[in-house]
Amino acid sequence: MKNASNGSRNAQATAERILLAAQKVFHEKGYDGATTREIADRAGINLTLINRYFGSKLGLFEKAVLPHLDLEPLLSGTPSDVAQRLAELYVDTGPKEGFDAFVVLVRSIANPEAGPLLIRRLEDHALRPLIDRLEGPNKEARATLIATQLAGLVLRFRIMPQIPLDGQEREALKQRLEANLREALEG
Amino acid sequence: MKNASNGSRNAQATAERILLAAQKVFHEKGYDGATTREIADRAGINLTLINRYFGSKLGLFEKAVLPHLDLEPLLSGTPSDVAQRLAELYVDTGPKEGFDAFVVLVRSIANPEAGPLLIRRLEDHALRPLIDRLEGPNKEARATLIATQLAGLVLRFRIMPQIPLDGQEREALKQRLEANLREALEG
DNA sequence: GTCTATATAATGATAGAC
DNA sequence: GTCTATCATTATATAGAC
């Protein structure tokens, strides 16, 4: 074999470490708040390797975040299935570390370079799949209703989780949300 | 009278011009993207006066933006009234210049200094008034459903208005949204 | 493939003259 | 009450040695 797959002189492994660290930092701080220095430190690599492998901070953002902005995997099954899955997933009060591309979207949407990329990606891989999945009249209106509801829930539970919601209220919210989603999904 | 109310040597008038310019720039670029230099230029005043009158960029943000983050004025009347008013207001495809504190919220939420201020203000002057306005069971769940739906609509129509929605779909969306809101408001 | 050293360009903020 | 000049910091990005 040519090289140890985890050695410190392996371009592919290094790029992967950068990507993973970038996801976390972009998640926590958004595009503006994330610095290439912190990403490099968290990845345990030298700062210059980011530009070496990804060209620029924006290039890294494109590779690390954009591909994960995708609603399609959550849309399989009957409308009832989808409604239940989404309600369960988006009314979520668990810990919020790690990486969530939709959180990165909200925290980066203000940036003049990252914003347009995010909007285009969202249109192609979230709004469009949702519209195409629906049957019956007013597909765009119904998809918009669903997508905006989910977007608000991301803001509420993944970005401002400071405001608590007790178990009973959470269950009531899930019930009502699921009903609303099912109605919009079915037509 | 002591002084011309619009003269160039009037502290109150100068502070007011700074506030108005700050609202526009924070609206367009968010907290991170807004620079004190641009605010000063747009206000037609010297850069140093911002710190003179508001202490810091964050101090200016507090005075210019936070007081306008308030849902209460939109909550008067019957549930039907409120549902109709909100549906009309938040499914909005008009031009997006000017100043909207909820847009500033989304575009500034990632900042570690502005974010917590925005969340606290939102809790006290949007979520709490909404909860207190409701009657019947599961007030918090219903308020959350409403607030998150509205938040998503802000994102969709005021921050990413690039994605078009034709008149018929817009009307259908308004109908469905109004029905959902009325149901959550009534219990 | 990875590092040190540095260029370049912004930013928020302030001292002190007028 | 307002301005000029400037400081101190921090950011992305790159040239070139190893």
- Whether residues A49 and A85 fall in one domain: no
- pLDDT tens, B130-186? 999 999 999 999 999 999 999 999 999 999 988 999 999 999 999 999 999 999 999
- Whether residues A93 and A181 fall in one domain: yes
Question: What domain range is A151 assigned to?
Answer: 67-186
When pLDDT is averaged across residues A90-109 and rounded to a whole number, the result is 93
pLDDT score, position B92:
85
pLDDT score, position A96:
85
| Separation in Å: D17 C1' and A22 CA | 28
- pLDDT tens, A149-169? 999 999 999 999 889 999 999
- Whether residues B118 and B41 fall in one domain: no
- pLDDT tens, B3-15? 334 457 899 999 9
- Whether residues B39 and B103 fall in one domain: no
pLDDT score, position B96:
85
Report residue A103 as tokens.
Answer: 């959180």
Q: Is the pLDDT of residue A4 over 90?
A: no
B155, B159, B165: best mutation site toward chain A, by most A Cβ within 10 Å? B155
Within a domain: B164: yes
Within a domain: A61: no
| CATH number assigned to the domain comprising residue A132 | 1.10.357
- Whether residues B42 and B130 fall in one domain: no
pLDDT score, position B166:
94
Residues composing chain A: 187
- Whether residues B32 and B84 fall in one domain: no
- Whether residues B50 and B82 fall in one domain: no
| CATH number assigned to the domain comprising residue A38 | 1.10.10.60
When pLDDT is averaged across residues A9-31 and rounded to a whole number, the result is 96
Q: How far apart are CA B71 and CA B126, in angstroms?
A: 5
Q: How far apart are CA B129 and CA B72, in angstroms?
A: 6
When pLDDT is averaged across residues A96-106 and rounded to a whole number, the result is 95
Long-range Cβ contact pairs of B110-116 (< 8 A, separation 24 or more): B110/A29, B110/A30, B110/A32, B110/A33, B110/A106, B110/A107, B110/A108, B110/A110, B110/B32, B111/A32, B111/A33, B111/B30, B111/B31, B111/B32, B112/A29, B112/A33, B113/B31, B113/B58, B114/B31, B114/B58, B114/B61
- pLDDT tens, B27-50? 999 999 999 999 999 999 999 999
- Whether residues A91 and A37 fall in one domain: no
Half-sphere exposure of B140 (CA within 13 A, CB side): 11
- Whether residues A99 and A155 fall in one domain: yes
Q: Select from A10, A27, A56 the last residue of a domain.
A: A56
Instruction: Say what percent of chain A tops pLDDT 90.
Output: 89
pLDDT score, position B27:
98
Q: Is the pLDDT of residue A5 over 60?
A: no
pLDDT score, position B93:
80
Within a domain: B61: no
- Whether residues A90 and A175 fall in one domain: yes
Burial track A140-170 (b if 16+ CB lie within 10 A, e otherwise) = bbbbbbbbbbbbbbbbbbbbbeeeebeeebb
- The alpha-carbon radius of gyration of chain B (Å, integer) is 19
Residue A171: which residues within 8 A CB-CB, separation 6 or more? none
- pLDDT tens, B86-111? 999 999 888 888 999 999 999 999 99
- Whether residues B123 and B175 fall in one domain: yes
pLDDT score, position A7:
52
pLDDT score, position A95:
81
pLDDT score, position A94:
80
- Whether residues B83 and B148 fall in one domain: yes
The residues close to strand C, meaning Cβ under 7 A, are A 8-11, 14, 45-49, 52; B 34-38, 47-48, 51, 55-58
Confidence of residue A139 (pLDDT cuts 50, 70, 90): very high
Q: Is the CB of B10 inside 8 Å of chain A's CB atoms? A: no
Q: How many domains in chain A?
A: 2
Nucleotide of closest approach to A11 (CA, C1'): C1
| Run of H or E including B94 | none
Q: How far apart are CA A144 and CA A138, in angstroms?
A: 10
When pLDDT is averaged across residues A118-147 and rounded to a whole number, the result is 98
Within a domain: B121: yes
Q: Is the pLDDT of residue A3 over 70?
A: no
pLDDT score, position B121:
98
